[in-house]
């Protein structure tokens, strides 16, 4: 970013304004679209655009956790998103995205791993979520988290039954597929810090280049903080921190409702196509 | 793991502490005087971290030549630091994340603009782990940077707080940390404003304020302990120069 | 929808019976090249094919290699020495079982050619790929998933389209066949493929023409 652009963005921020015309505590509008197959979600936030795909396969559980399934999230950024990213090399910022998504969704137990067990110690489902970044305009953490959790909610895995010692995986025509057991919906909200104690929510590309530090809160509708990361830069009083959490909670409620609304619409559309096919769907 | 009592109804924890008690803190400054520009060892209970600081010196790569000094932090965990001897993993994501967090935090406290086009290399080695790993690293790094004579605004101190139901427990050990959700709080100087806040487990929002309050108090005590050690060492140095 | 951060992009969607193949491709270039990859007389061509599920495996390396071979024959690399052309092919929906690669291969080639044209990279012509299968002795163009599973062999065929007299305009650049088939059958496949490629070429050409017309500032 050129110095004159930096100065422009900074001077606007000091007047409580942003290049995009948003208020300092206003996040971008979220667009969410489900694809043709189960577990395919496209998320757009401003010009940031990414696709999450959830898939499953039968695998062997880990020896030390025989009653749990496996869950993997891959978030690799290629140069498709922006020429600033190098193919096949992870920078520290990309690493932080990976770690935060991991902590927000996997370590907060958003997916019930025990429900993925088929035969203890023998076989279980391996669920993986792959995030593909198509366009970069800041806010990868917030957008990826929404995409992954929406894809998990949208995904349906094949039903299984056990016949003696054999595990039978039923095709989608034989038995209606089963939704994953998602225990809660964590939503990430990121703040960016600028010089002169300016704090901004959901920064775009230019703002993210200029910022001196950041803070990410992951929270769900039930007011559980799943993850909180703030390292240095602007010191905040605990009052301010709680305020930020409340704001994040408000946004989490909005987004969770939006995801459920979109899910409902999508399954209504699907059910119209083939009557009674999706009986296994429950209204969460 | 068996269900023993983390916090008894009488208000005692498994290791005999009360809810607001820190573990025994032992810190040493200038512990590796021959091998580095600055060094420190911090022990918080059974956790022990050594920090070595080199610099400001010429940067190793050109990308680290900037308007301000670059802080490069690396964290190594000794394989014997836990009860279960772990295989040595290079490029552990968790440690890389921790280094990035340390770097971001200390950029706030160190006056990096006074040493442009230089690099400050901080190497942390975890000798023993018994909870509060990140806070132990932060405290060790503060002392080592002071020992290296780098200009800093204030002490950076950190400690963690676990939550047992509604009761916050200060400076949890490994057992408490695996059983309960905990937050690590870090402050710069003697303020109530929080610079670092890391939470990795699920925790109700309404349980956060008491934990933050207790964490900040713990940090202030740690700052005093560190200040005492720095003054003791400084007095010793002055005395030896006077001779 | 175009990708804003890339110099050129294209999306290739093939709906067939039982699946939808959706592939998106971005091209950045000519951009600065790392010293260790720099070629003094021509541009470095970097191609990455990324699967929809998981990390790239040997299967993606194969797709990458075949696509690279096709693109190398049309990109005028000597016109852009000491630079980098970066192509990323992202599969968004494979539309075929993992055992098969035809649709993804064809999609990777067609989308990257369109994206290269969109990025304004100098090309000597177009490469057009089509996929076929032999099912119960019959040659099927754009087979559905059921047909793929029943097929004896699958073929991804790419032709290079040059400007020039009719007899040299379509030349074979790639024929990737898997399965059992006779020499005769292969010749028949190539014949069918050439006709299909002519059709596909018309579509791709008009698409590029339309896009160029839209992007002209004085239009």
Shortest CA distance from A136: residue in chain C: C5
Residue ranges in C144-182 assigned as alpha helix (H): 145-150, 166-169
- Mean pLDDT per segment of 10 residues, for chain A of length 284 residues? 91 92 92 90 94 93 91 92 88 89 90 91 92 93 95 93 84 87 94 92 92 92 92 88 93 94 91 57 46
Asked whether residue B7 is domain-assigned, the answer is no
Task: Say which of C3, C31, C53 has its CB closest to residue A134.
Answer: C3
Question: Would B42 be classed as within a structural domain?
Answer: yes
Q: With respect to residue B18, please indicate whether it lies within any of the assigned structural domains.
A: no
Name the residue among A98, A108, A229 with its Cβ closest to that of B202: A108
Q: Which domains does chain C have, with CATH numbers?
A: 8-215 (3.30.230.70)
Q: For residue range C88-118, list pLDDT tens digits in order.
A: 999 999 888 888 999 999 999 999 999 999 9
CA neighbor of B105 nearest in space, from B76, B145, B66, B77: B145
Q: The CATH number of the domain where B233 resides is what?
A: 3.30.230.70
**Residue B70 belongs to a domain:** yes
Q: Give Cβ neighbours of residue B153 (< 8 Å, ≥ 6 apart).
A: B109, B110, B111, B188, B189
Residue C68: count of CB within 10 angstroms of its CB: 17
Max CA pair span of chain B: 59
ipTM score: 0.89
Cβ of A132 within 8 Å of Cβ of C28? The answer is no
Percent of chain B residues topping a pLDDT of 70: 96
Of A228, A232, A236, the CB nearest to B105: A232
What's the burial of C183, exposed, middle or buried (CB within 10 Å: 0-12/13-18/19+)?
exposed
Beta bridge partners of C85: C45
Domain count across chain B: 1
CB contact under 8 A, A238 and B198: no
Measured CA distances, B212 to A68, A223, B170, B208 (Å): 34, 17, 10, 6
pLDDT score, position B64 = 78
C57 with C46: CB under 8 angstroms? no
pLDDT at B183: 93
Q: Strands A48-59, C126-135: parallel, antiparallel or unpaired by DSSP?
A: unpaired
Ordered DSSP codes for B136-157: HHHHHHHHHHHHTT--BSS-EE
In a domain, residue B11? The reply is no
Beta bridge partners of B138: none
pTM of the model: 0.90
Query: What's the N-to-C CA distance of chain C in angstroms?
Result: 21
Q: Does A37 touch chain C (CB under 8 A)?
A: yes
At A213, list the tokens: 């530090």
Instruction: State the helix-helix crossing angle for B208-242 and A238-273, rounded to 10 degrees.
Output: 140
Tell me, yes or no, whether B20 lies in a domain. Answer: no
From the list B188, B202, B209, which residue is nearest A242 (CB)? B209
CA dist., res. C85 & res. C71, Å (int): 11
How far apart CA C61 and CA C67 sit, in angstroms, is 10
CATH homologous superfamily for the domain A23-273: GHMP Kinase, N-terminal domain (3.30.230.70)
C-alpha atoms less than 13 angstroms from C-alpha of B23 in its C-beta half-sphere = 25
Contact list, A87 vs chain C (CB under 8 Å)? 46, 48, 86, 88
* Sequence-distant (≥ 6) Cβ neighbours of residue C91 within 8 angstroms: C21, C22, C23, C49, C50, C51, C52, C104, C107, C108
Q: How close, in Å, is residue B175 to chain A by CA atoms?
A: 18
Query: Does B have 3 or more CB contacts under 8 Å with C?
Result: no
- Is the pLDDT score of C219 beyond 70? no
Q: Which residues contact C4 (CB under 8 A, 6 or more apart)?
A: A47, A135, A137
Are B201 and A242 within 8 A, CB to CB? no
Give the pLDDT confidence of C38-80 residue by residue, as tens digits: 999 999 999 999 999 988 999 999 999 999 999 999 999 999 9
In eight-state DSSP terms, residue A201 is E
Q: How confident is the model at residue B159 (pLDDT cuts 50, 70, 90)?
A: very high
In a domain, B5, yes or no: no
Interchain CB distance below 8 Å, A51 and C26: no
Residue B71 located in a structural domain: yes
């Amino acid at each position: 970013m050129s110095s004159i652009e930096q100065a422009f963005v900074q001077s606007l921020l000091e007047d409580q304004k942003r290049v995009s015309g948003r208020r300092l505590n206003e996040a971008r509008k979220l667009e969410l679209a489900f694809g043709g197959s189960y577990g395919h979600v496209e998320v757009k936030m401003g010009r940031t655009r990414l696709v999450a795909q959830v898939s499953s396969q039968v695998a062997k559980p880990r020896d030390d956790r025989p009653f749990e399934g496996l869950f993997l999230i891959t978030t690799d950024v290629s140069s498709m998103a922006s020429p600033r990213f190098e193919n096949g090399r992870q920078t520290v910022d990309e690493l932080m995205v990976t770690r935060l998504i991991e902590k927000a969704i996997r370590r907060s137990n958003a997916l019930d791993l025990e429900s993925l067990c088929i035969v203890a110690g023998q076989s279980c489902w391996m669920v993986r979520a792959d995030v593909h970044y198509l366009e970069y305009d800041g806010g990868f953490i917030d957008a990826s988290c929404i995409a992954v959790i929406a894809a998990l909610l949208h995904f349906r895995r094949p039903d299984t039954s056990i016949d003696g010692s054999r595990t039978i995986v039923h095709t989608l025509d034989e038995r209606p597929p089963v939704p994953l057991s998602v225990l809660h919906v964590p939503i990430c909200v990121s703040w960016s810090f600028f010089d002169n104690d300016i704090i901004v929510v959901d920064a775009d590309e230019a703002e993210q280049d200029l910022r001196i530090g950041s803070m990410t809160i992951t929270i769900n509708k039930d007011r559980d903080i799943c993850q909180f990361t703030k390292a240095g830069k602007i010191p905040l009083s605990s009052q301010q921190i709680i305020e930020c959490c409340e704001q994040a909670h408000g946004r989490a409620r909005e987004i969770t409702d939006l995801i459920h609304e979109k899910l409902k619409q999508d399954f209504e559309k699907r059910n119209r196509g083939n009557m009674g096919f999706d009986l296994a769907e429950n209204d969460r | 793991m068996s269900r023993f009592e983390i916090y008894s109804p009488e208000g005692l924890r498994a290791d005999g502490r009360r809810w607001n008690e820190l573990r025994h803190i032992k810190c040493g400054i200038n512990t590796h005087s021959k091998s580095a520009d600055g060094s420190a060892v911090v022990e918080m209970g059974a956790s022990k971290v050594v920090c070595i600081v080199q610099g400001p010196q010429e940067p190793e790569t050109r990308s680290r030549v900037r308007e301000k000094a670059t802080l490069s932090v690396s964290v190594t965990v000794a394989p014997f630091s836990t009860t279960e001897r772990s295989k040595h993993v290079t490029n552990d994501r968790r440690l890389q994340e921790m280094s990035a967090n340390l770097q971001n935090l200390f950029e706030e406290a160190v006056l990096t603009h006074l040493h442009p086009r230089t690099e400050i290399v901080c190497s942390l080695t975890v000798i023993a782990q018994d909870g509060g790993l990140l806070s132990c690293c932060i405290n060790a790094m503060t002392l080592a940077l002071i020992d290296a004579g780098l200009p800093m605004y204030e002490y950076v101190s950190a400690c963690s707080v676990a939550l047992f139901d509604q009761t916050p427990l200060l400076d949890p050990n490994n057992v408490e940390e695996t059983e309960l959700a905990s937050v690590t709080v870090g402050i710069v100087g003697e303020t109530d404003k929080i610079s670092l806040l890391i939470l990795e487990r699920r925790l109700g929002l309404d349980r956060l304020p008491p934990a933050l309050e207790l964490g900040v108090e713990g940090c202030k005590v740690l700052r005093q302990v560190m200040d005492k050690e720095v003054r003791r060492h400084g007095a010793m140095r002055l005395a030896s120069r006077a001779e | 929808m175009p990708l804003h951060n890339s110099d050129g992009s294209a999306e290739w969607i093939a709906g067939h019976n039982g699946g939808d193949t959706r592939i998106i491709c971005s091209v950045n270039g000519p951009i600065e090249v790392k010293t260790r990859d720099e070629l003094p007389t021509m541009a470095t061509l970097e191609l990455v094919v990324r699967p929809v599920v998981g990390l790239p495996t040997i299967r993606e390396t194969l797709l990458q290699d075949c696509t690279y071979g096709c693109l190398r024959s049309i990109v005028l690399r000597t016109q852009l020495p000491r630079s980098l052309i970066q192509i990323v092919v992202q599969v968004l929906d494979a539309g075929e079982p993992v055992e098969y690669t035809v649709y993804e291969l064809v999609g990777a080639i067609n989308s990257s050619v369109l994206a290269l044209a969109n990025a304004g990279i100098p090309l000597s012509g177009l490469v057009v790929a089509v996929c076929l299968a032999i099912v119960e002795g019959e040659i099927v163009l754009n087979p559905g998933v059921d047909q793929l599973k029943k097929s004896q062999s699958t073929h991804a065929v790419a032709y290079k389209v040059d400007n020039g007299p009719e007899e040299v305009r379509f030349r074979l650049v790639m024929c990737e066949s898997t399965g059992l088939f006779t020499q005769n059958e292969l010749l028949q496949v190539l014949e069918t493929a050439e006709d299909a490629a002519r059709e596909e070429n018309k579509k791709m050409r008009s698409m590029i023409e339309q896009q160029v017309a839209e992007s002209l500032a004085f239009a």
